[in-house]
Chains A and B, each alone.
Chain A
Amino acid sequence: MGVVHGQEMVLNIGPQHPATHGVLRLQVKTDGEVISEITPYLGYLHRCFEKHCENVTYEQVIPFTDRCDYLASMTMNFGYVVAVEKLMDIKVNDRVQHIRVIMAELQRIASHLLATGVFGLDLGAFTPFLHMLRDRERIIDLFEMTCGARLLYNYMWVGGLSHDLPKGFVEATLNFLDYFEPKIDEFENLLGHNKIFVERTADIGIMPAEVAINFGVTGPNLRASGVNWDLRKDDPYSIYDKFDFNVPVGQGIKGTVGDSWDRFYVRLQEIRESVKIVRQALDQLPKDGDVHQSMPKKIRPPKGSIYSRTESPRGDLGYYIESDGSDTPSRLKMRSPAFTALGVLDEIAGGWLMSDVLAILGSLDIVLGEIDR
């Protein structure tokens, strides 16, 4: 296999580019069509999250966590309140726990729908995107019914929730799930087994397991590489140990384990698992229990620090909180899963063709708000 070396060319993608999912700049060095190096430039959406946290009280941090990962605000809230509750040693009642799990899993479905839809869009498939957004809207309606907001919810509070479930929520959710479950197969056929889509994703951008671990890649991207690692199973927080669900891992059905198609497929399978969890949680939902019951009057955690992590749709979401005993955190750091997922891009995209970069980037499912914070 002879290799012809041409002149090196430097190509700039972004920061305004429809396929970079926000404002990200990639500097791509290519040799002809083949990529030799990608340098991502971040920070176009650096909104000083950590500085804000040092200046506002613990309650006021929650809206800012919403705005970091705007595609999965519920799980961002969830991770934060779990961390603060651990730090303050608060136990919340069962109803709150169940509602939180329901919300987090619905959010996971919504986020994965958008992720897979936009992935298809990046590769030129417009119809699946519209179908997925249509169903995402229905989930958003459920959220709106609960807390009044469509995108940034500020729903989970330390020690409780902002509102209890509204009347008719359970029925509406069950209705939605009944409608939605057959649709997952439809999405799978529409996109997953589409010849063009398979050609462009299978065997492209392979991420071996040890590379993924070394680069700190987590979540569906790690699982697609064949590693069975899910914090909901391996380090259960909240009440995830009560539910029965599987952790889908990449199997290389269309190509090699850990290729872009696997990352897509793992997300699709996770949607199915989330549906299962929501059904169980709705089933077991305790009838009574005040959602404001264990909310502290004043949030002043004792001196100390904590690193707590939860599973967001993008991976291990960690919060490092250092408290000095006052009502504002003295340091709060978010370990964002998309940040590490983007870090691996150079490693796995090198050697592929120019047109594959966007396929690989799309398959990593990054959200710039969370990367830059």
Chain B
Amino acid sequence: MSEDIQLLIDDVVAKALAGDMDPINNIEDRVTRSKAKAALVKAKRSQPKTEIKSNASENSDVKAKDTIEQVVIASLSKNFSNFLDGEQNGEWIQIKAENWFEIAKHLKENENLYFDSLQCNTGFDLEGGMLESRYNLHSMKHLHAIEIRIKVSIENPDIPSVESLWRVADWFERETYDMFGINFTGHRDLRRILLPEDWEGWPLRKNYEEQETYHGIVVPKVKEGWE
């Protein structure tokens, strides 16, 4: 490592420790960037108090008697209006598709919620012309988890993508798209991920019919007509 790169790294790490992550993220060269991030981790580890996990009970806003769903809804209604979709049953939060990106951003960045990891994204075919996308979020800091559900119609299955918030959503959303045909708007590269590009249909929808042949190879299980 040459000297000025080391200087650059020291500089951005100092800035990041002060809370400004932009200089690190703006480094053009990927090698230098990953080195800088690694250095940041080292620096953070040597600081005693910035632990990744902290105790949930220290937090004043999360009261013990409210369930996490109530806390989340309360926190969201301060910033958004009319975001809930239909009735809630307390085990998950059903929201409308429009503001999903902003809501997700709030969920991730709010200090008291801090859902830093997107555990799982599941598609679901509700039948009767509705599709659903479900997100299981978890906070490694506060150790709490919620489930968010978003319903869309099968004719117009558009949901804002959250892939730029949680990069793990990149592949999750591609998979959901691949299996259900839910269209995540704003995704950087929405292609089929598991099935071949020229596959027909959305396999996990309940009314899915297998295609007859794929590139001349017979697909269905019935052995008739194979020879």
Contacts and interface: CB of A to CB of B under 8 A. Distances in A.
Interface of A: 1, 42-43, 46, 48, 50-51, 54, 206-211, 213-216, 225-229, 234-235, 252, 256-259, 304-305, 307, 309, 316, 318, 320, 322, 331, 333, 335, 339-340, 343, 347-348, 350-352, 372-373
Interface of B: 2, 5, 29-31, 34-35, 37-42, 45, 52-53, 91-92, 116-120, 122, 124-125, 134, 136, 140, 143, 145, 147, 166-168, 170-171, 179, 192-196, 203-204
A48 B168 contact: no
Given A226-B45, A340-B171, A343-B167, A208 B117 contact: no
B136 A320 contact: yes
Nearest to B39: A256
Given A257-B45, A320-B134, A43 B196 contact: yes
A213 B171 contact: no
Contact of A1 (B5, B179, B194): B5
Contact of B41 (A225, A234, A322): A225
12 contacts: A46-B195, A208-B38, A211-B37, A213-B117, A256-B38, A304-B91, A318-B136, A320-B120, A340-B168, A343-B168, A351-B30, A372-B194
A234 B143 contact: yes
Given A1-B5, A51-B203, A320-B136, A42 B41 contact: no
B179 A352 contact: no
Contact of B30 (A54, A350, A373): A350
Nearest to B189: A39
A333 B118 CA distance: 15
Secondary structure class of chain B's binding surface, majority of residues: mixed
Contacts of A225: 41
Contacts of B193: 42-43
B166 to A, nearest CB: 6
B41 A209 contact: yes
B179 A50 contact: yes
**Which of B37, B53, B195 gathers the greatest number of chain A CB atoms within 10 Å?**
B37
B170 A343 contact: yes
Contacts of A340: 168, 171
A228 B168 CA distance: 20
B127 to A, nearest CB: 10
